[in-house]
């Protein structure tokens, strides 16, 4: 990976190259981690998503796609989000696995009997200990070594959250056998 490229086309190349490498690493893990997470989403009474900053924004996009599938999805912190409980799944993202609000939400979910699944870079973090984990081999926001990524402040992790979310959506869509037209009636019409 050449981090000294210049120009927008070169910057796009860096982003693309790092995402291709991330995807290859995730594919090398096999289907089990993602299939397990997809199965938990399918069987959950409701799916809640939570993350801070850009990780949270990426999860909001995932929530929208899950809603298109017909899943009952809530974004933690929104005024219409109900209390989480037994039978629910909390999907969280935190590169470091130490984001205080995300860890507290995982603790609460665990306390009430909900399942927790985490996307993180840190398999040994407090968040990982509370959840089923999918580890994204990317830098978190405080890693400025340029070892895992030359992009700034966890950008590759956040991009990975969205890519994993879209892959999970696609897998669930294919498993469910719905057509694109069948999903379309759930697409927002108040835009």
Residue-level pLDDT at 140: 77
With CA atoms as reference, report the closest residue to 121 among 98, 146, 101, 103: 98
Structural domains of the chain ordered from first start: 8-180 (3.40.50.10490)
* The pLDDT of residue 4 is above 80: no
Q: Are 171 and 39 in contact (CB under 8 A)?
A: no
Count of CB atoms situated within 10 Å of the CB of 110: 15
Contacts of 51 (CB under 8 A, 6+ apart): 57, 58, 59, 92, 93, 94, 99, 102, 161
Residue range 84-126, pLDDT digits in tens: 999 999 999 999 999 999 999 999 999 999 999 999 999 999 9
For strand 73-75 and strand 89-93, is the pairing parallel, antiparallel, or unpaired? unpaired
> Active-site residue numbers?
158
Contacts of 159 (CB under 8 A, 6+ apart): 15, 19, 22, 58, 138
Dmax (CA) for the chain in angstroms is 51
Residue-level pLDDT at 191: 82
Contacts of 90 (CB under 8 A, 6+ apart): 48, 49, 50, 76, 84, 105, 106, 109, 114, 115, 116, 117
Is residue 2 very low, low, confident or very high in pLDDT (cuts 50, 70, 90)?
Answer: low
* The pLDDT of residue 46 is above 80: yes
Cα 16 from Cα 22, distance rounded (Å): 10
- What is the average pLDDT score of the chain? 93
With CA atoms as reference, report the closest residue to 119 among 163, 61, 87, 66: 163
């Amino acid at each position: 990976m050449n981090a000294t490229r210049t120009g927008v086309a070169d910057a796009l190349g860096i982003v693309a190259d790092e995402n291709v490498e991330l995807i290859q690493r995730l594919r090398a893990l096999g289907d089990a981690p993602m299939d397990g997470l997809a199965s938990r989403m399918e069987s959950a009474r409701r799916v809640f998503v939570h993350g801070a900053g850009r990780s949270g924004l990426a999860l909001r996009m995932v929530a929208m796609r899950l809603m298109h599938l017909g899943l009952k999805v809530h974004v933690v912190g929104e005024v219409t989000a109900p209390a989480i409980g037994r039978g629910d799944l909390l999907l969280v993202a935190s590169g470091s696995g130490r984001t205080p609000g995300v860890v507290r939400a995982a603790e609460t979910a665990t306390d009430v009997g909900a399942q927790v699944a985490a996307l993180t870079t840190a398999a040994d973090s407090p968040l990982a200990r509370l959840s089923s984990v999918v580890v994204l081999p990317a830098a978190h926001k405080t890693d400025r070594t340029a070892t895992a990524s030359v992009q700034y402040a966890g950008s590759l992790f956040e991009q990975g959250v969205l890519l994993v979310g879209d892959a999970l959506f696609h897998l669930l869509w294919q498993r469910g056998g719905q057509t694109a037209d069948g999903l379309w009636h759930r697409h927002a019409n108040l835009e």
